[in-house]
Structure 1
Amino acid sequence: MPLVSTRDPGRQGDDDRTVDLSDDFVVLPEQTADDTDRGWGESTGGNDDRLLAERPPHWD
């Protein structure tokens, strides 16, 4: 069976196209919506003070 090219001869390949890589070009966001406290179903208020007050005696 002969090999058949599916490439359109009138179309540029990926190696030939220009890609804008300026600073405002974003491929992916830094943080997704489900990677937040709200996305995990947690409240936005922290409980660090409570956790520090209730830490075990051997942590001192």
Structure 2
Amino acid sequence: MNRVEPPATPDDERPVDLSGDEFMLPEQTRDDTDRGWGERTDSNDDRLWEDVPPHWG
């Protein structure tokens, strides 16, 4: 039987620096970000802090 390889994932293609004596993988992958989940990266926080109700003084 022929062995079927699973499809490549984005984690399989991330760069890893192996040039030193020790190496570490990144703490966060692309899939573990807002952009990886298809969310926008622009922040709405500044507008929300400026657009406060009148009773907030």
Normalising by the residue count of structure 1, what TM-score does the alignment of the two structures yield?
0.39
Decide which structure has the larger Cα Rg and report it: 1
Normalising by the residue count of structure 2, what TM-score does the alignment of the two structures yield?
0.40
